[in-house]
């Protein structure tokens, strides 16, 4: 059995002294793992890094076997992020989220497209907005997607400002007022084409994080939970730093004189 397809690398781990086990995401075959012989060589290690797009070929005698990967790099998506800590952390968190939460060998066409829409990443709030929406796409693929189409109480689409922490459905600002303190904030960029602030990004990560913890974390083995939590916490910490820096940058800008 064998196949060849473009694939995003999700994880790379050493196997023995020379080889590596690699996990990738393809459009048709979903998440797939395989052995890369000589994977720890400098050439192979460079190709098979998380976030890279490769033309992967998988081969095994039987479909239930681990199989082996060979492949050629199509695009190195992490090269320009070496001096961008937040961009790199976001890319690694996205790869870990798919690698550690999605079922293996199940076609996930929507998620493959979502990874493409997520890239390229940088340090801007608009890049992080794509990542927050990506987390919701993962929730959707797992059957826990959030519903921002209309208010759960009134059925209207106007002034959606909160999300129920139990149902994941949006709630209108006025209708939510009696219970606002118990609801999750819905940032406008999650359902409108708006450029977010860093505070909006933090609120969005809190929103998707609540449902990832609620629906996904308790199904995960401890080692996977620790890996994913660490990568996501790195993103949260860097976003908090951006939130602290942004007001100082605004204050430092000189006022333009009006002549």
Q: What is the pLDDT of residues 16-48, one digit of tens each?
A: 999 999 999 999 999 999 999 999 998 888 889
Let me know if residue 137 belongs to a domain.
yes
Q: Which residues pair with 6 in a beta bridge?
A: 55
Let me know if residue 133 belongs to a domain.
yes
Same domain? For 223 and 137 the reply is yes
Same domain? For 125 and 217 the reply is yes
- The count of domains in the chain is 2
Same domain? For 6 and 95 the reply is no
Judged on CB neighbours under 10 Å (0-12, 13-18, 19+), 202 is buried
pLDDT > 70 in the chain, percent: 95
Instruction: Quote the pLDDT of residue 202.
Output: 97
Local structure of residue 131 (DSSP, 8 states): H
Let me know if residue 227 belongs to a domain.
yes
The whole-chain average pLDDT of the chain stands at 91
Residue 252 reports pLDDT greater than 90 = no
pLDDT tens digit string along 204-239? 999 999 999 999 998 899 999 999 999 999 999 999
Q: Which residues pair with 197 in a beta bridge?
A: none
Q: Is 242 strand, coil or helix? A: helix
Same domain? For 141 and 201 the reply is yes
Instruction: Quote the pLDDT of residue 250.
Output: 41
pLDDT tens digit string along 116-154? 999 988 878 999 999 999 999 999 999 999 999 999 999
Instruction: Quote the pLDDT of residue 122.
Output: 81
Q: Whole domain around residue 95: which residue ranges?
A: 85-148+186-244
pLDDT band of 259, cuts 50, 70, 90: very low
Instruction: Quote the pLDDT of residue 247.
Output: 62
| Token pair in block for residue 253 | 């800008």
Same domain? For 62 and 111 the reply is no
Distance CA 104, CA 209 (A): 22
Same domain? For 44 and 105 the reply is no
Let me know if residue 176 belongs to a domain.
no
User: Minimum mean pLDDT among 61-65, 88-92, 127-131, 236-240: which range?
Assistant: 61-65
Q: Which of 51, 76, 101 is the last residue of a domain?
A: 76
Residue 186 reports pLDDT greater than 50 = yes
Same domain? For 55 and 89 the reply is no
Distance CA 74, CA 55 (A): 6
Q: Which of 59, 76, 93 is the last residue of a domain?
A: 76
User: What is the rounded radius of gyration, in angstroms, for the C-alpha atoms of the chain?
Assistant: 21
Same domain? For 47 and 142 the reply is no
Same domain? For 28 and 60 the reply is yes
Q: Which of 18, 49, 76 is the last residue of a domain?
A: 76
| Token pair in block for residue 254 | 């000189």
């Amino acid at each position: 059995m064998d196949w060849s397809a473009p694939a995003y690398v999700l994880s790379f781990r050493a196997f023995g002294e020379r080889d590596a086990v690699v996990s990738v995401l393809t459009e048709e075959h979903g998440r797939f793992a395989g052995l890369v012989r000589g994977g720890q060589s400098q050439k192979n290690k460079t190709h098979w890094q998380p976030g890279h797009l490769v033309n992967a070929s998988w081969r095994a005698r039987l479909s239930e076997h681990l199989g082996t990967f060979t492949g050629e790099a199509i695009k190195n998506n992490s090269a320009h992020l070496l001096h961008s800590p937040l961009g790199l952390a976001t890319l690694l968190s996205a790869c870990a989220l798919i690698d550690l939460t999605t079922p293996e060998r199940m076609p996930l066409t929507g998620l493959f497209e979502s990874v493409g829409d997520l890239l390229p990443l940088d340090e801007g709030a608009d890049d992080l907005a794509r990542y927050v929406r990506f987390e919701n796409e993962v929730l959707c693929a797992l059957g826990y997607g959030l519903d921002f189409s209309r208010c759960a109480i009134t059925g209207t689409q106007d002034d959606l400002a909160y999300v129920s922490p139990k149902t994941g459905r949006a709630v209108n600002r006025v209708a939510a007022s009696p219970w606002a303190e118990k609801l999750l904030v819905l940032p406008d960029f999650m359902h409108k084409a708006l450029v977010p602030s860093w505070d909006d990004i933090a609120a969005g990560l809190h929103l998707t994080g609540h449902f990832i913890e609620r629906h996904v974390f308790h199904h995960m083995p401890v080692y996977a939970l620790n890996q994913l939590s660490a990568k996501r916490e790195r993103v949260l910490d860097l976003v908090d730093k951006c939130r602290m820096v942004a007001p100082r940058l605004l204050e430092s800008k000189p006022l333009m004189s009006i002549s």
